[in-house]
Amino acid sequence: MAYDKNNVFARILRGESTCQKVYEDKYTLAFHDIKPQAPVHVLVIPRRASPDMQDFTTRASDAEIAALHRTTARVAQLTGIAEAGYRYLCNIGANGGQEVPHLHVHVFGGRPLGRMLPPT
Ligand code: AMP
């Protein structure tokens, strides 16, 4: 997937669009999803201009890859969902249902989340 520099998360990273920030560090930014699907629904994104997980794991440094995971766990702690449990989900490409072409991990929690996928 080619990287679109004008996607909404790129604009958030450049400060051209606002977000409700939860956490940030050198490699990552975490903010509340604009249309939450659970009481807690946070998105974790890398600062690297990477369209998806395939590109990210090929091009990013080990430190950047580790940071994405660490930030996800930290977000669960900061939002109070770590102890009860939560879901960490990444949509990739068309079949994965990815809408925004900048890699992001969804962190859902705050209620029982049910089955992993809807029955077919
Ligand atoms: P995905 O289908 O995995 O690409 O998910 C994209 C997510 O981005 C959706 O849950 C949207 O609600 C969310 N989203 C889109 N625009 C924004 C925004 N400006 N701020 C926060 N979340 C957003």
User: How many other β-carbons are positioned within 10 Å of the β-carbon of residue 102?
Assistant: 24
In terms of pTM, does the model score above 0.75?
yes
Query: Given the CA of residue 19, which atom of ligand 1 is nearest to it?
Result: 20
Distance CA 44, CA 13 (A): 12
Give the mean pLDDT per block of 10 residues along the chain (120 residues).
Answer: 92 98 98 98 98 97 98 98 98 96 98 88
Q: State residue 120's pLDDT score.
A: 77
Query: Given the CA of residue 12, which atom of ligand 1 is nearest to it?
Result: 19
**DSSP-assigned letter for residue 16:** S
Decide: 94 in ligand 1 pocket, CB within 6 A. no
- Ligand 1 center from residue 7 Cα (angstroms): 11
Q: State residue 68's pLDDT score.
A: 98
